Amino acid sequence: MSELSVIGKSIAMVDAAGKTTGAGKYTDDLSLPGMLVGKILHSPYPHALIKSIDTSRARSLDGVVAIVTGEDAPNQYGILPVGHDETALAVGKVRYVGDNVACVAAINEEVAEQALELIAVEYEPLPAYFDPEVSMKAESDLIHPNRPHNIEKDYHHVFGDPDRGFAEADYVAEARYIANEVTHAAMEPHCTLANFEIDPHTGKQGRLTVWSSTQVPYYLQHKLSLVLELSMSQIRVIKPLVGGGFGGKSEIIPLEIIAAVAARAAKAPVKITYTREEVFWAHRGRPRTIIDLKAGVKNDGRITSVACKVIQDGGAYCSYGVVTILYSGALLGALYDIPNIRYDGYRVLTNKPACGAMRGHGTVNVRFAFESQMDEIAAKIAVDPAEMRRINLLKPPTVTVNGLRVLSYGLPECVDQVITRSRWKDRRGKLPRGRGLGMACSHYVSGAANSIIRSEMPHSTVNIKIDRDGGVVVYTGAAEIGQGSDTMTAQIVAEVLGCSMSRVKVIAADTDLTPIDLGSYSSRVTFMAGNAALRAAEDVKKNIVSAAARRMNCSPEDVVLRNDRVWVRDGWRPDSEAAASDAETARGHVDGQILRGSVLQTRKEEAAKDHMSFEEAVVSAIDFHGGLTGTGSYAPPVEARGGKHKGAGVGPSPAYSYSAQVAEVSVDEDTGVVTAHKVWAAHDCGRALNPVAVEGQVIGSVWMGLGQALQEEMVWKDGLVMNPGLLEYRSPSSVESPEIECIIVESIDPEGPFGAKEAGEGSLAATIPAISNAIYDAVGVRLREAPFTPERVLSALRTQHGAKKVEMTAGVDPTQPETFREHGGSLWFRGRGPQRHRADSARQGATMGGAD
Amino acid sequence: MKKELIELRVNGRTYETAAPPNSLLLDVLRQELDLTGSKRGCDDSSCGACTVQVDGVPMLSCTMLAASYQGCEITTVEGISEGGGLAALQKAYGDFGGSQCGYCTPGFMMTVRWLLANNPDPTEAEIREALSSNLCRCTGYSQMYQAIRAVIEAERKNGKTELAGVTR
């Protein structure tokens, strides 16, 4: 018999049938009696003061129930305590094209849209900032008055002695890398349904219930409480099925607050569902990042020092920005052994939708730069890129120079695996021109060791209740968003209790029912909620075992729970003949135990017992203890919480996942088209609790990285996103998606549940540089700006041929356009462009669209 | 716009409902008939989450006027289960991880069902080609191919492939 019975087996998600039959309910599938439709009026200006809003004509439209503006809920909020700079709807000022100005609640969508047309808003345009490097020099017309030079936050970290490290280096490389802006584009557009109940005692609006497509129900409850001035106990947040998050639902999205504000004003349930274009405006994606990277190495490839300056184009609000810019620096550590690091990070505000957390939060773009530069250095000093990585491996257990504790470290095996599988040694540098192999590595946290809101509270808590029917109900606040958190929870509980998965019912992410969990972000759920589930199951198991030991007249240490049976170790064997005949009765219920008390039970107890069914054990435990519940919680250990410097809170994690990848591409030198043929991705997830789910996460991460590497990019003109649709944004289809071979590496983390670590994000960051390095191997050009579109590849190839460099993508945002361009990309503006400040030279002679 | 009576055949049943003539089939299915399995994922018919079958052909219900499809046999994801249980394709998508967040899954069900009905033994390229009408952001499609191959394999063992070949 193997050590584990449920863990480590590939099984279907517990909610899979609801998804394949259409029976599963997402927020937009829900409706309530008397429900109204909410529609939001968005700003046509990237930066403007609101002089007045006249809603009178809209209000008089038949079917309009309520119209709310910024004045109806002026309290500021934000996901980070240091970044409370958003309001539900704009108060006095709009900061990006698409900013939220007013919301109409009406009896149907048609009336709501008509009403939006009737709202008259008088704006006074201000000069707008689109380029972070220009914005950070701003002296006037600041985006937020309390952020001088439009710098949200800057950090300057020095670890070790970088200057000495560079002096000791035999070779120093220095270059600028740029990764353009990408977004999550989860398939489900954001949706929120909000409803107030009448309080029976006061006769007024009382408790608020919000159903929302969120990764963070608890944070949503908290921010609703701030904005609406309701106590958290009066707010219930329920997360139905969520159609993908990737970080885009990991903070409070404007519609979540607006729906509640509108429901309060309308005195009726209000549902708001974003259009796809609105999803692009809500954004919170990965910022355009400018990375100036310098690395020094010895002749054998050993890194002596790294200096990195990062500028992030954060958009108009803080969002997760302070954390993003810190991750960019902190995660320079914990992958390789780097003795000296200098990091300068600038999170800059611009008049564009806010950037936030996206899969691989903060690390992806810097990892692209770093792994590309390693490849460049390897070529310069004539060391194999794979050897270059091997020579710089960490020696765990260790604490890195910037204070990150590393225990389990499967990177060496990951590197070995991809080298073997891709036949790296035989093929790299030896394929015909136009085809090449590239390698890169990455890592990611298994949850942040310090929560956003610093406190001593557990990061995850799980409750378990078992009743006389033998059903195990698990209550967890962890948010299932398609990654499999409910399944993971059920597996861990079933494994500990030795019962079948079908017995376990997971109730998740409902703030009235489930204990606090910080949510699904930073890949924290398996490690943290998983550990909490493990502890809760052990807590409840303790009571089953003590009662069973009493009945079987043995010591608790000898009680075995497994396969829905409970027995005395060495006294009875589950594979005996008696067990086979017993198994028949074990499937049903135990006669009389539920309704008739313990008559039969008592009689059975008289006989000596050396085994019983799970139900029998449960019933005796309830009879003995008066109930059967358990609780477990998890907070990261103090040793894993990082150093003491300013900003040290971001980066530390109880465990890190590791990934190594090799990508094979071909480059068409006539068209500049890069085709990815295959990616070998080895991922150290500690232990694969459910291998099919781990593979799905790794493949999905690599695939999303491929999108960012080759085609996905948000294109801007005058602050308006020009490609706010899934086709224009170029989310890869099945014909553009290569084969991805996932290799699971298990390093068995000492603190993870059954040794498990992160699986859902860590692989993404390696894919982009692996592709870039493969392009270099194929045609010898180095692409330092992602995505590697045909234009950029052709431009680089021209330079290689000695031709004049053509910047085919220059002139596209963020630089200000020389002439005003018509905007055809927006459905919302119906072909009209956003409007710019009158002093803006680009505006002269242009035909202006009206304010919607 | 004033509502008009329309009669739709959906999943073998006839529904009479009132909707404005400009109503889209997706909205009528979701809002009037409460068949919320078909999803809206985009504004411009690019994602395929709303795919339904009309007389066996996968079509995007977000760009079809409901009133124009009276008299057609419309099948949605709610209508493809077999004998109250999961069809082989639905089971395989669950077992092989073809569905993660599941929002695109109903659309894929309708597309793949059509593919296998018309081409019981598709090549890898044909599967990719067929699936390219639908977008997924979670899976990278890889595990969908595994699920589809498993269904094909199971059907071959059951001898259904040959039967389908004969009737074709």
The residue extents of the domains of chain B are 4-79, 88-167
Between residues 272 and 301 of chain A, which touch chain B (CB distance below 8 Å)? 273, 275-277
The residues, any chain, with a CB within 8 Å of residue A3's CB and separated by 6 or more, are none
CB A681 within 8 A of CB A743: yes
Angle subtended at Cα B8 by Cα B4 and Cα B14, rounded to the nearest 5 degrees: 120
Q: Are residues A392 and A359 in the same domain?
A: yes
Q: Given A221, A256, A282, which residue is the final one in a domain?
A: A282
Q: Are residues A63 and A120 in the same domain?
A: yes
Distance from CA of B137 to the nearest CA of A (A): 6
For chain B, say whether A695 makes contact (Cβ under 8 Å): yes
Angle subtended at Cα B143 by Cα A500 and Cα A756, rounded to the nearest 5 degrees: 50
For chain A, say whether B143 makes contact (Cβ under 8 Å): yes
Q: Are residues A264 and A313 in the same domain?
A: no
CATH 3.10.20.30 is the classification of domain B4-79 = yes
State the CATH number of the domain containing residue A41.
3.90.1170.50
Distance from CA of A217 to the nearest CA of B (A): 17
Look at residue B162 in the predicted model and tell me its pLDDT.
Answer: 46
Domain that holds residue A295: 148-183+284-451+641-800
Q: In whole angstroms, give the CA distance from residue A242 to residue A479.
A: 9
Q: Is the pTM of this model over 0.90?
A: yes
Look at residue A814 in the predicted model and tell me its pLDDT.
Answer: 40
Between residues 567 and 596 of chain A, which touch chain B (CB distance below 8 Å)? none
Look at residue A255 in the predicted model and tell me its pLDDT.
Answer: 97
Q: Are residues A462 and A579 in the same domain?
A: yes
Q: Are residues A541 and A669 in the same domain?
A: no
> Which of B39, B95, B100 lies closest to A482 in CB terms?
B100
CB contact under 8 A, A696 and B139: yes
Residue that has been written with the tokens 């998890």 in this structure: A634
Q: Which residue has the higher pLDDT, B128 or A588?
A: B128
CB contact under 8 A, B105 and A12: no
Between residues 446 and 485 of chain A, which touch chain B (CB distance below 8 Å)? 481-484
For chain A, say whether B22 makes contact (Cβ under 8 Å): no
CB contact under 8 A, B128 and A29: no
Distance from CA of A271 to the nearest CA of B (A): 13
Measured between alpha carbons, how far is residue B108 from residues A82, A793, B37, B51 in Å? Answer: 43, 34, 12, 8
Q: Given A225, A257, A282, which residue is the final one in a domain?
A: A282
- Residue A73 in any domain: the answer is yes
Q: Are residues A627 and A660 in the same domain?
A: no
- In degrees and rounded to multiples of 5, residue A515 shows phi and psi of -70, 165
CB contact under 8 A, A243 and B30: no
Q: Given A233, A250, A282, which residue is the final one in a domain?
A: A282
Q: In whole angstroms, give the CA distance from residue A697 to residue B64.
A: 35
- Alpha helices (H) in A599-662, listed in sequence order: 599-606, 614-625
Choosing among B1, B34, B39, B43, which should be mutated to test the A contact, i.e. which has the most A CBs within 10 A?
Answer: B43
Chain A and chain B share a number of CB contacts under 8 A equal to 183
Between residues 174 and 193 of chain A, which touch chain B (CB distance below 8 Å)? 184-189
The residues, any chain, with a CB within 8 Å of residue A684's CB and separated by 6 or more, are A408, A409, A410, A411, A413, A414, A657, A658, A659, A745, A746, A747, A757
CB B91 within 8 A of CB B112: no
- Which chain B positions have a beta carbon within 8 Å of A690's beta carbon? none
For chain A, say whether B28 makes contact (Cβ under 8 Å): no
- Residue A687 in any domain: the answer is yes
What's the topology of domain B88-167?
DNA polymerase; domain 1 (1.10.150)
Q: Which amino acid is at A801?
A: H
Which secondary-structure segment (H or E) carries A425?
Answer: helix A424-427
Look at residue A846 in the predicted model and tell me its pLDDT.
Answer: 40
Spacing of C-alpha B132 from chain mean position: 14
CB contact under 8 A, B96 and A692: yes
CB contact under 8 A, A22 and B46: no
- Residue A583 in any domain: the answer is yes
Residue in chain A closest to B47 (alpha carbons) equals A726
Angle subtended at Cα B13 by Cα B11 and Cα B14, rounded to the nearest 5 degrees: 125
> Which of B78, B81, B102 lies closest to A482 in CB terms?
B102
Q: How confident is the model at residue B161 (pLDDT cuts 50, 70, 90)?
A: very low
CB contact under 8 A, B41 and A187: yes
Q: Are residues A576 and A662 in the same domain?
A: no
> Which of B94, B103, B138 lies closest to A26 in CB terms?
B103
- Residue A655 in any domain: the answer is yes
Total domains present in chain A: 3
For chain B, say whether A527 makes contact (Cβ under 8 Å): no
CB contact under 8 A, A735 and B129: yes
Mean pLDDT by 10 residues, chain A (852 residues): 86 97 98 98 95 98 98 97 96 96 97 96 94 95 97 97 98 97 98 97 96 98 98 98 98 98 98 96 97 98 98 97 98 98 98 97 98 98 98 97 97 98 97 98 97 90 96 97 98 98 97 97 97 98 96 94 93 66 46 46 59 93 95 96 94 98 97 97 98 98 98 89 90 95 98 98 98 98 96 90 65 41 47 54 41 36
- Residue A469 in any domain: the answer is yes
The residues, any chain, with a CB within 8 Å of residue A685's CB and separated by 6 or more, are A657, A694, A698, A744, A745, A746, A756, A757, A758, A759
Q: Which amino acid is at A262?
A: A
State the CATH number of the domain containing residue A414.
3.30.365.10
Q: Are residues A518 and A447 in the same domain?
A: no
Q: Are residues A227 and A176 in the same domain?
A: no
For chain B, say whether A114 makes contact (Cβ under 8 Å): no
Look at residue A579 in the predicted model and tell me its pLDDT.
Answer: 55
Q: Are residues A480 and A579 in the same domain?
A: yes
- Residue A835 in any domain: the answer is no
For chain A, say whether B52 makes contact (Cβ under 8 Å): no
A52 pairs with which residues across the strands?
Answer: A122
Measured between alpha carbons, how far is residue A446 from residues A219, A453, A455, A660, B34 in Å? Answer: 19, 18, 19, 17, 40
- Which residues in A608-638 are b (16+ Cβ under 10 Å) and which e? ebebbbbbbbbbbbbbeeeebbbebbbbbee
Question: Where are the strands (E) in A700-751, listed by range?
Answer: 716-717, 720-721, 739-745
Residue in chain A closest to B134 (alpha carbons) equals A733
For chain B, say whether A824 makes contact (Cβ under 8 Å): no
- Residue A13 in any domain: the answer is no
Max Cα distance, chain A (Å): 98
Between residues 49 and 108 of chain A, which touch chain B (CB distance below 8 Å)? none
Q: In whole angstroms, give the CA distance from residue A120 to residue A67.
A: 13
Q: Are residues A607 and A490 in the same domain?
A: yes
- Residue A848 in any domain: the answer is no
CB contact under 8 A, A244 and B103: yes
Look at residue A821 in the predicted model and tell me its pLDDT.
Answer: 38
- In degrees and rounded to multiples of 5, residue A317 shows phi and psi of -130, 165
Length of chain B: 168
ipTM for the predicted complex:
0.95
CB contact under 8 A, B137 and A244: yes
Q: Are residues A446 and A559 in the same domain?
A: no
